[in-house]
């Protein structure tokens, strides 16, 4: 269940939520499995707002109307088939890719554009939905997540933000190049990146190519620290590695938290955060559908809670330094290095 769906789900009445969960478990057992909700570090924000819930519900319903229906079929090898309902407001992308993208854009673009001019603020907290729907867009891409986040991070390069600080985390450490460059160029006193240790990656110990992914992220973590040294002289940005036991063993946890927190000058706790489904990679920008919420708050209690969220993530995280990659447990098999070279890790 991605974060867009979680927001919709959490806004439902209890009875409808139970009914919806039962229905989804039949067709999305992979995402609603026990493993997804057990021994897994993630982020959950509850928005008690009919306006916000209705908005995410509209996005959810539009995406559903542009999707194949999965239904059982014992006559085919996988025992299920994908069917394009004739009621969908777009032709099947397998039959008419251009027509599908044109219809999808017409449906999604209005949901990504502001519907009215902001009026006087009545609350200490403002929520801006930002989404990434590049695969469904035709000629003009109205996606708001990537450009919105970049716009925010550009402000950190200003001198008047020298007293600020930021925290970044993602379940899969392969941040988009533009995002990484802006974080490294920030004037902030301290930037913190929290990444998953190989032992906290859901692919740890798996068979096949996926088993090379956890050590592959180690290579990217080392490269990141090398860039910190090159761009900032090794100062002002710390990399923390999150680990709680070993995946697949008793008490082992996986790490799937992702988000950005920014503490503005003269503040001691974050007053801005981004929460949602994005992993902040090129894949998220180009190939995935993402829905997020940009939260800006002046509420002191909420700021303290955001600070507590960051500190909680640090409970099982330890600093990772360049010299640590010389240790035996950080050695990467040569096969992984070759695979990393062959694959386009920008995705």
pLDDT for 158-202, tens place per residue?
999 999 999 999 988 889 999 999 999 999 999 999 999 999 998
Tell me whether residue 46 is in a domain: yes
Residue 102 near residue 81 (C-beta atoms within 8 A): no
At 297-327, the pLDDT tens digits run 999 999 999 999 999 999 999 999 999 988 8
- C-alpha closest to that of 143 among 102, 112, 115, 106: 112
Q: Is residue 25 part of a domain?
A: no
Query: Could you tell me if 309 and 315 are in contact, meaning their C-beta atoms sit under 8 angstroms apart?
Result: no
Which residues, 6+ apart, have CB-to-CB distance to 180 below 8 Å? Answer: 224, 227
Q: Which domain holds residue 178?
A: 3-20+41-342
Higher pLDDT, 113 or 127: 127
CATH code (residue 153): 3.30.870.10
pLDDT at 35: 65
Query: Is residue 35 a part of any domain in this protein?
Result: no
pLDDT at 78: 82
**Which uninterrupted H or E stretch holds 130?**
strand 125-132
Question: How do residues 16-63 score in pLDDT, each as one tens digit?
Answer: 445 444 444 433 444 566 667 789 999 999 999 999 999 999 999 999
Identify the band that residue 140 occupies on the pLDDT scale cut at 50, 70 and 90: confident
Q: Which residues contact 266 (CB under 8 A, 6 or more apart)?
A: 163
Q: Between 122 and 302, whose confidence is greater?
A: 302
Higher-confidence residue: 332 or 36?
A: 332
pTM: predicted TM-score of the whole model, two decimal places? 0.86
pLDDT band at 341 (very low <50, low <70, confident <90, very high): low
Q: Which two tokens stand for residue 172?
A: 């899969």
CB within 8 Å of 273: residues ≥ 6 apart: 259, 260, 261, 262, 294, 295, 306
Residue 221 resides in a domain: yes
Q: Is the residue at 26 inside a domain?
A: no
Q: Is residue 226 part of a domain?
A: yes
- Asked if the model's pLDDT at residue 333 lies above 90, the reply is no
Work out the average pLDDT over 189-216: 88
Percent of the chain with pLDDT over 70: 85
In a domain, 30, yes or no: no
Distance CA 3, CA 43 (A): 9
Per the structure, how many domains does the chain have? 1
Average pLDDT over residues 222-245: 96
The pLDDT > 90 percentage for the chain reads 67
Q: What is the pLDDT of residue 141?
A: 86
Tell me the mean pLDDT in the region 283-302.
94
Average pLDDT of the segment spanning 109-137: 86
Integer angstrom CA distances of residue 253 from 40, 198, 246, 316, 338: 5, 11, 7, 10, 28
User: What integer best gives the mean pLDDT of the chain?
Assistant: 87
In a domain, 98, yes or no: yes
pLDDT of residue 344: 54
pLDDT of residue 211: 81
């Amino acid at each position: 269940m991605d974060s867009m769906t979680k927001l919709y789900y959490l806004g439902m009445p209890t009875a409808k939520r139970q009914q919806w969960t039962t229905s989804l478990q039949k067709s999305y057992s992979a995402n609603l499995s026990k493993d997804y909700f057990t021994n897994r570090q993630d982020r959950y924000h509850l928005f008690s707002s009919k306006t916000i819930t209705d908005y995410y519900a509209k996005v959810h319903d539009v995406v559903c109307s542009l999707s194949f229906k999965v239904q059982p079929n014992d006559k085919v090898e996988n025992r299920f088939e994908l069917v394009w309902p004739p009621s969908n407001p777009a032709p099947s992308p397998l039959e008419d890719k251009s027509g599908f993208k044109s219809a999808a854009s017409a449906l999604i673009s209005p949901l990504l554009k502001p519907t009215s001019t902001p009026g006087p603020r009545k609350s200490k907290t403002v929520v801006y939905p930002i989404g990434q729907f590049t695969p469904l867009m035709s000629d003009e891409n109205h996606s708001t997540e990537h450009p919105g986040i970049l716009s925010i991070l550009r402000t950190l390069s200003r001198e008047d933000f020298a007293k600020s600080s930021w925290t970044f985390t993602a379940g899969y450490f392969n941040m988009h190049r533009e995002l990484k460059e802006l974080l490294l160029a920030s004037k902030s006193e301290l930037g913190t990146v929290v990444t998953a240790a190989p032992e906290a990656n859901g692919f740890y110990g798996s068979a096949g190519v996926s088993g090379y992914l956890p050590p592959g992220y180690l290579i990217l973590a080392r490269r990141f620290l090398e860039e910190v040294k090159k761009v900032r002289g090794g100062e002002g940005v710390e990399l923390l590695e999150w680990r709680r036991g070993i995946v697949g063993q008793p008490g082992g946890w996986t790490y799937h938290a992702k988000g950005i927190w920014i503490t503005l000058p003269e503040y001691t706790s974050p007053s801005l955060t981004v929460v949602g489904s994005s992993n902040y990679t090129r894949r998220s920008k180009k190939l995935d559908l993402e829905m997020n919420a940009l939260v800006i708050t002046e509420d002191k209690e909420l700021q303290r809670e955001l600070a507590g969220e960051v500190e909680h993530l640090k409970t099982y995280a330890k600093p990772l330094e360049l010299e640590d990659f010389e240790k035996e447990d950080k050695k990467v098999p040569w096969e992984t290095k070759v695979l990393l070279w062959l694959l386009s890790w920008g995705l």
